[in-house]
Chains A and B, each alone.
Chain A
């Protein structure tokens, strides 16, 4: 077997830069194959299970616990999760790839491969012979629509607007809670215009024969250039005004009374009808590109208007990641709709057919009932296909492209308390657009990499190969950072959150599930020792003093964040007398908050917690305790999986148990269900309120939650700083990064205490 692998990888190595086992990953457990064979590219999809090391925490038996014993046991366990793999490669490699798959496919019971795309019948025999799987053809359009619905629902920042001359070429769209109805304009060799009204309802409402095949066919005739890519390349260098008859060629200027500017094309190729001269290949290709793009754009607009649709997505090989065609189509749509309709493109447009075919085959597994997440570590991201590169280079760089999606254990939904889910943007700064901030943060994450590697190794001292894995992690994440430096748009809008999440995905990829587990354990242990003392000293204060101390405690606790470098050296025992918490704060709504507390208690508070240790135990719990005493129910939302030193749901359960054992107030609240722990559904140091655990959403709704507290830099500053909620909200954090503090007009350790009450009319939503 090893020999055969060698042969396969050898032949692949000639054409690709990545070793094949990094491309067709997890083949051992692969099942449910689907393949979409287009005119030049093949897209393979399969489902596999991935074994991951996961850090689990388990409480020790309380009675057995002596002094100095850790609070809970950390054990690394193997967990099996589901993953979807999508690989895109050129048709020329199809045979080599099939061989490779055959050699590695061991544990599969699969008998069938779903196939779609124009090339499916051409390669049917080859696939059946090589893989011994029966090829089962699925309708192309159905697959396309299914795939489109899937990516729109599951991948944030899937859709984008293309703007060639803007600071960032790609402007990503928020995931709209309701993706329907929309128009899909698929530009293959011809054009199909499809109206999609729901998951199962779509209709081809029109089309055109002038499409990608027309550009290619006519282009080949006119310029003697054979390849589609090369034609686009020619077009990007040409001047269409040499071939087209413009309004000014007829009018000498603009046709003012109709508002037609002089530069508008009056007649495509009009000059070649009258001028008896040679035209350059570049100019003709450009003219052809404009003619076809404008024509498609015009028809798309006419159909959109007739059916009253404003969301129009463009796909097909004519579009597929080509900035040139995205630009001309965008231009055309803007021209014909005067900006009323935006041309939208999809990051994973090339995968739609394969995804759809896969979903058709997996219907019995009900993939649509789960939420899926793009795995940044295993996905190639959107490549910038610069027209300046020579086409051969381009072809190679995009030869093997991958998308991996993890099945999330929990179904994710919007926080019901978002004021307007369709306009909610989690991230405060879009680094794709803000070049200065991007530079800073990329530098920051690169600087921090050594520390992260060290911590990863330290977390697995017992494993000799940890250093090697950590080094692989370093290479992978550094490579991601480099990619993002050149292509900030690769995974949608670049944000601090996405940089953090990418790091977590890469750590997981190399089996460092929770590098902070031991630190968290130590800190929790230590903080618990102070809990009763802190509660006692608080109880001695007057009401006014106590409220202030509680808020300061929250803020002080939040300073001890292992994720932020500046704090690692600070260790102040008496957190209630920290110098940096003197008011007035950078954002200071404390007085309004106190006024509110003098009023009736809140019905229920939802609290998104941050760090382990002092933060949760000495900051959050005393604050929560006060709320409970006031008669407010509290829901504590913590991460489902580990991220930095953030407290996870399972850790929080143990911490709560321990506190309950010491504190009758907490004990009673837990018992009476007035204090509830829920998981957020996330494993990120940041917080996306549009992708939260469904159970959380249910609890929030059932308890008529009227206060949301969001704590920490990641959740309240990097994300959600501008989030508008339909109930009262408290966002608080200490800014532990001097660059960010300066940006916000303060200094390091500036305090943000933002208390917001929605206006009456908004509150009715």
Chain B
């Protein structure tokens, strides 16, 4: 890809040096540092956490002390936000500094303080904004500052209200750049300017996504593992989550399930391609559930799905052949036709909303699994990481994906999941803040 999000032009960081970095530890640093050097790999976490490359040129030849000084000088001003404006949800990542000195506290302008207090003292904003407290990363060092990373989301529809709030809290007076990715960064750029007097730094969503995934995976060391998989996915009794070490991730198929789905083949931190995508994604699941069941939120839809039975809606192989279709190796339980039973009026009248919600979930999930498997085969990649907000609180789909990939590939493919599902784009955007000046 030409665009890799890391704008190293004229920084003197040669690509050849990138390729020289081998071994797990170094790779890890590759994941964290925009332009890696072998030297950076052995540095303390604080430094390796993501120095702006302006400093790294120096850091290669000078002491860590000097580097910290220059970090301060070149560190972006607070507040540190990253935003991912998707088709359905806005994902907001906020870094709350916890090491504020008294001196700083006094200097801190009122609007900045008010924003910090508003965000950190609430877990819900308005009717629809939510802070995913369970995801927050409480003890993080970023650009030399220690703090807590917060993960907030609200529907894209509520963006005008958000802009209104930004205006009321005089966000624009902070002279900060707002790093934003996702389609909305483009679509709403003018609104940010006119409604809240804010200038956006627009970033490519796939660049941010990959950067975010690699960063979060590298900084999470305590607490629940970031990356996990389901052990024994084909055996519901023994199926359980297990931590997975993503230290040496390449090549990797990254499947981002938002409103729609993008499938990326990632070969290194800045070498990836979008293999394909499908319009049958989270938006399709929710949209159809709304139409079929009258529900209005993702949580409602999932709740219904968890209680339903898709086999009443779908036509299975055994419904047609009485059992397995052995000639083609199709097990009787496999779905032959999604919603196939609904061709028949009696059956339409006998299914519940819950059944329909479940069938929708199963249909969309299996389809993503199927396309993913074909891409993995075509690209010759065995490791698949699923991200995106469709998977949020959606164990059903994750287990289904794990199962489908394992079963149909005869154990060749492994489905991996990440705890911060839908926030990687926003994290990637936040990391670009250091390039904003």
Contact = CB atoms under 8 A, between A and B. Distances in A.
A620 interface: no
A665 interface: no
B339 A217 contact: yes
B416 interface: no
Contact of A213 (B183, B187, B340): B340
Given A226-B345, A255-B183, A274-B155, A217 B291 contact: no
Contact of B338 (A206, A209, A257): A209
B186 A252 contact: yes
A230 interface: no
The residue among B184, B287, B348 with the most chain A CB atoms within 10 A of its own CB is B287
A440 interface: no
B88 to A, nearest CB: 6
B284 interface: yes
Contact of A204 (B328, B337, B345): B328
Contacts of B182: 250
A361 interface: no
A200 to B, nearest CB: 15
Contacts of B274: 258
B371 A298 contact: yes
Interface in A364-415: none
Contacts of A139: 327
Nearest to A223: B291
Given A208-B370, A251-B186, A284-B291, A214 B340 contact: yes
Interface in B171-208: 182-184, 186-189, 204, 206
Interface in B324-342: 327-328, 334-342
Interface magnitude class on chain B: 35 or more
Interface string A194-237: 00000000001010111111101110111000100000000000
B175 to A, nearest CB: 26
Interface string B356-374: 1000000100110011001
B284 A270 contact: yes
Contact of A267 (B186, B204, B287, B334): B287
B254 to A, nearest CB: 14
Interface in A244-275: 244-245, 247, 249-253, 255, 257-258, 265-274
B377 interface: yes
A306 B374 contact: yes
Contacts of A252: 183, 186-189
A244 B337 contact: no
B283 interface: yes
A213 B87 contact: no
Interface string A286-313: 0000010011001100110110000000
B352 interface: no
B158 to A, nearest CB: 11
B70 interface: no
B8 interface: no
A265 B335 CA distance: 26
B343 A295 contact: no
Nearest to A284: B291
A211 B342 contact: no
A118 interface: yes
B207 to A, nearest CB: 9
Contacts of B133: none
B278 A295 contact: yes
B292 A273 contact: no
Nearest to A218: B339
Contacts of A279: 291
Contacts of A272: 287-288, 290-291
A309 B375 CA distance: 16
B283 A218 contact: no
A267 B336 contact: no
A221 to B, nearest CB: 5
A299 B370 contact: yes
A221 B343 CA distance: 9
Contacts of A250: 86-87, 182-184, 187, 259
B340 A245 contact: no
B279 A244 contact: yes
A20 interface: no
Given A214-B338, A217-B339, A249-B87, A269 B288 contact: yes
B52 interface: no
B3 interface: yes
A61 B282 CA distance: 88
Contacts of A298: 276, 278, 371
B343 A245 contact: no
Contacts of A265: 260, 279
A209 B87 contact: no
A243 B87 CA distance: 13
Contact of A221 (B157, B283, B348): B348
Interface in A430-452: none
A257 B183 CA distance: 12
B378 interface: yes
A188 B291 CA distance: 25
A267 B283 contact: yes
A211 B342 CA distance: 13
Contact of B3 (A190, A220, A257): A257
Contact of A245 (B283, B292, B314, B334): B283
Contacts of A595: none
Nearest to B274: A258
A221 B342 contact: yes
A374 B20 CA distance: 67
Given A209-B314, A244-B279, A266-B259, A222 B337 contact: no
Nearest to B292: A221
A274 B278 contact: no
A640 B338 CA distance: 54
A270 B320 contact: no
B343 A299 contact: no
A564 B252 CA distance: 71
A266 B87 contact: yes
Contacts of B87: 245, 249-250, 266-267, 270
A143 to B, nearest CB: 13
B284 A210 contact: no
Given A118-B320, A208-B367, A273 B339 contact: no
A336 interface: yes
A276 B296 CA distance: 8
B183 A217 contact: no
A250 B314 CA distance: 32
Nearest to B316: A209
B88 A251 contact: no
B281 interface: yes
Interface of B: 3, 86-88, 155-157, 182-184, 186-189, 204, 206, 258-260, 274, 276, 278-284, 286-288, 290-292, 296, 313-315, 320, 327-328, 334-343, 345, 348, 356, 363, 366-367, 370-371, 374-375, 377-378
Given A245-B283, A251-B183, A253-B187, 11 more contacts: A190-B315, A209-B340, A210-B363, A255-B183, A266-B183, A267-B259, A270-B283, A273-B88, A273-B290, A302-B374, A306-B378
21 contacts: A141-B328, A189-B315, A189-B343, A190-B336, A190-B337, A209-B314, A214-B339, A214-B363, A245-B259, A250-B183, A258-B274, A265-B260, A266-B259, A267-B282, A268-B287, A269-B287, A270-B279, A273-B287, A294-B279, A295-B367, A298-B278
